[in-house]
Structure 1
């Protein structure tokens, strides 16, 4: 007797209706990823747009004599391990806007200049003596935002409209051998031409910078483990911490400014905390600093910054602790109408200061010092 299965097979054979075999599944080959080109070069009036469009596929990008259109940011957020080289002269057309003219973010990015290059935003077109405080709207120059494990080196920048570098949200960023030459603004209305403004960043090293400007050479507004070394600063407002206060991040922790010269400037060393605000400034060291031709304050440390130096009431909401000054050379450096050292602290808000081999003379003693920590003196 046939089984039920055998009966079905016999019937299928007899009627010629056999089941069609199921075909094997079709295998689709994986798409081949486009390999990054090793080197790309962009130039001319269309070079900026072409470079930004191609940044994902070029491992090394050379920007040769590119002209950036008015109101545009040269904006890069490339893949890891990308190198961008500026060659020839990079220019920007005029527009009254906030900028920035250049912006970089990303990880393991190298930005550098070729021999003889120049980044020339021609800031004199915007200069009116008012900087960011009025007049025409002026674009900031270079936003280094959210750069990690990256390097900026060997850049020559001439005549920024206002601030040169804004460094924010960066970690493990090294900037070396960068020149910012805004010296023409001394006579032509340059203002607020800060060299390096740093906020909410960590492990930032700025080495061997040359800054000729009309505002802070460096200003650390917040961040941790910041080093500025081998700097040459001229014409500005000093080697500054702050102003601290009134921002989303108001903590400065572990900053070393060393082996640098500041000359022909309003201030030498300056630490400024805003009156009535909260935050913290701790672990700041100035070491091996040479002062020359300082017009107002050789050393200025204040907890009453209010829109200007020593303008407000000193408050204690932003303590300044563990402040070290060592090997500060400023004999005869301060103008006779200026002040050698000015310290104005809130009650109990400045402590654990160590000053060794600090010499700042040439100016007057500041007669309104307040709450000076033990072992420190406003007199020279």
Structure 2
């Protein structure tokens, strides 16, 4: 950020205070009331999804209204003061980053930025004596929309339980999420691509009436899905239930997620045997899109930071998956291959040297890199895709074109 960018937020309704954004005209952390207020602000972000505190910008109704530059000439003194106050008024101490945005016309004046990530060591408590009497609270604040609420005793107990169980094997969490998604899809004998992701440090996506409507609108705008409903500690999105391009996605409260996509296939006869085959460009394109959107869910809805465990699998039918459902009583299933169409879409260019009933691959990457969709996403996707296609006898999954029209990645 720059000073000019923050100054330009004045009177911008879209820049209103939110779950991860707060404005203060000044930072008065020298008296008991000011210290309590600062401790409450940083704890409420750390106990939720993290956030940014902009000091030096007044607000009216949550919307930035006036620039109130601070004296940032002695920045070292600011850092010492913040470290002393936050370290002595929060338990366990909240981790944060602080830096100035100086006015180019007067470098001694500017804004103070406090960036507080979601904490894996919560809940964080305010330890200062209460300035105002508080009833039925334990002084554990958490951000709720554009305001701060206090955790109840049940909330605190649950948060402590999560702190001590979050260190459990994330690989098992990945398998659990994968198994639950497979149990939710209808019977099928058609090929599927399954991407499952789990955060190394879990996040927390609150699910209530307000957040459901907001997340539902965001998910439907992405055009991949037609319906969004609430499940147990998750959102479930589906589309094209009666077609080959079936989509089923579970977005968990802790930032984990699983997405099952029906692969469009074409029939072919090879050495006297009938096969289904999917184009390698479609497989890779959809894989990249699914990884990116699951990472975006983890980062933006659940407040996940750090690394994500990624697992991708292709199977000629869901029951071929080790955790899949029983074999359905449907039309006979054909063996599955991965090949390629020429640049005009036909005819088929043989890549596979053998059919494969099931293949999987895993990788680890930073959630921000995956969600941003840059080079790191391609690198992680290439690592996973290469391992998948090697099970079909293909050396590497060279992505040579756009995915099919109508696929998640092309939409």
TM-score class, shorter-chain normalisation, is under 0.3
Q: Could you say which structure has the greater relative contact order, defined with CA pairs below 8 angstroms and 6 or more residues apart?
A: 2
Q: Report which of the two has the higher share of strand.
A: 1
Normalised TM-score (structure 1): 0.22
Task: From the CA coordinates, give the structure whose radius of gyration is larger.
Answer: 1
User: TM-score, with normalisation over the residues of structure 2?
Assistant: 0.21
